[in-house]
């Protein structure tokens, strides 16, 4: 299981003051030293955390492959092509959202998507699509000719949080918060079974499978045990823990959790 560390939240903290501290660039050497496999950053259209300059410097300086997340918008794709990261993960974006709330709505007729993928491939960049775990997302992704899919694990994380921590409000706001524990457990089991069977199907189709969103030290184990998921991209929980134990230990603890 490979770990991609999403370092956006270092820039979130910096942007709170609009100064140059903390600098996400400083995370690179720590990630390299502790054996992280990938750096993940999201260059949002509203530039709320990672800025163009960050993306450029991170891609140039990182010894690890960089996975750049961006929206399917021609301007963003042009920027991504010029930056030439190892991989681009296309994600849906809404201005009002706190974080990426769900997977892409995929269509073979969507020329923004088909042209965007073509353009990225022409620049030698591998492409991943951030999708909800559904059969349709799999088959359309295959038809679109991408190398990777990344399953959005937000629904899983949300059910897990409701079941185990009794959190009443999460950003995914599932409508089942007052369900009995046995029902929530069934939902969790079925979410995991779905991720497992779709990952196996994706593997048979020749797609690489990543997963991410809402994964943390408590809920990651079951996802990490799914054989056909090759990579996890994790941000919030690692950066949050790094405040208390430092980035190096926070990553080491996550590596231990996904072993
Ligand atoms: N993968 C993708 C495609 C994402 O958009 C995000 C959130 O930016 C993550 C993984 C990481 O999610 P989290 O910060 O909840 O770990």
Q: Please identify, by atom number, the ligand 1 atom nearest to the C-alpha of residue 4.
A: 10
CB within 8 Å of 77: residues ≥ 6 apart? 70, 88, 115, 116, 119, 120
How far apart (Å, rounded) are the C-alpha atoms in residues 128 and 99? 18
Mean of pLDDT values over 91-117:
85
Residues acting as catalytic residues? 42, 69, 213
Predicted local distance difference test score (pLDDT) of residue 50: 97
For 113-148, the pLDDT digits (tens) are 999 999 999 999 999 999 999 999 999 999 999 999
Q: For residue 157, give the ligand 1 atom closest to its CA.
A: 15
Is the model more confident about 103 or about 248?
248
C-alpha distances in Å from residue 89, one per residue of 140, 196, 248: 16, 21, 25
Give 74's pLDDT tier (boundaries 50, 70, 90).
Answer: confident
Kindly tell me if the per-residue pLDDT of 241 is higher than 60: yes
Provide the pLDDT for residue 165.
74
Superfamily for domain range 2-258? Aldolase class I (3.20.20.70)
CA of 42 to the centre of ligand 1 (A): 8
Which residue CA neighbors atom 4 of ligand 1 most closely?
213
Ligand 1 contact via 210 beta carbon (within 6 Å):
no
In this prediction, residue 173 carries a pLDDT of 45
Smallest Cα–Cα separation from 208: which of 90, 122, 126? Answer: 126
pLDDT at 139: 96
Q: Is 242 in the pocket of ligand 1 (CB under 6 A)?
A: no
Least confident of 26-30, 94-98, 207-211, 251-255: 94-98
In which band, very low, low, confident or very high, does the pLDDT at 177 lie, cut at 50, 70 and 90?
low
Higher pLDDT, 82 or 181: 82
How does the average pLDDT of the chain come out, rounded? 93
CB atoms within 10 A of CB 148: 21
User: How many Å apart are CA 146 and CA 125, to the nearest integer?
Assistant: 10
pTM over 0.85: yes
- Give 152 Cα–ligand 1 centroid separation in angstroms: 8
Ligand 1 and 89: CB distance under 6 A: yes
């Amino acid at each position: 299981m490979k770990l991609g560390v999403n370092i956006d939240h270092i820039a979130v903290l910096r942007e709170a003051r609009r100064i140059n501290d903390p600098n996400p660039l400083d995370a690179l050497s720590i990630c390299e030293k502790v054996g992280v496999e990938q750096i993940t950053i999201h260059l949002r259209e509203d530039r709320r955390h990672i800025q163009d300059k960050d993306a450029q410097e991170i891609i140039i300086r990182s010894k690890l492959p960089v996975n750049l997340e961006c929206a399917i918008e021609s301007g963003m794709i042009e920027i991504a092509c010029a930056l030439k990261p190892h991989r681009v993960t296309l994600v849906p974006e809404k201005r009002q959202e706190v974080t990426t709330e769900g997977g892409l709505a995929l269509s073979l007729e969507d020329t923004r998507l088909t042209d965007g993928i073509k353009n990225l491939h022409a620049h030698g960049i591998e492409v991943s699509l951030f999708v909800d775990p559904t059969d349709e997302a799999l088959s359309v992704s295959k038809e679109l000719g991408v190398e990777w899919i990344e399953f959005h694990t937000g629904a899983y994380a949300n059910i897990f949080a409701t079941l185990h921590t009794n959190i009443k409000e999460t950003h995914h706001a599932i409508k089942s918060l007052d369900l009995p524990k046995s029902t929530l457990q069934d939902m969790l089991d079925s979410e995991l079974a779905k991720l497992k069977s779709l990952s196996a199907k994706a593997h048979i189709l020749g797609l690489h499978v990543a997963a991410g969103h809402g994964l943390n030290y408590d809920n990651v184990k079951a996802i990490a045990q799914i054989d056909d998921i090759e990579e996890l991209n994790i941000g919030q929980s690692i950066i949050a823990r790094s405040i208390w134990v430092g980035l190096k230990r926070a990553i080491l603890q996550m590596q231990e959790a996904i072993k």
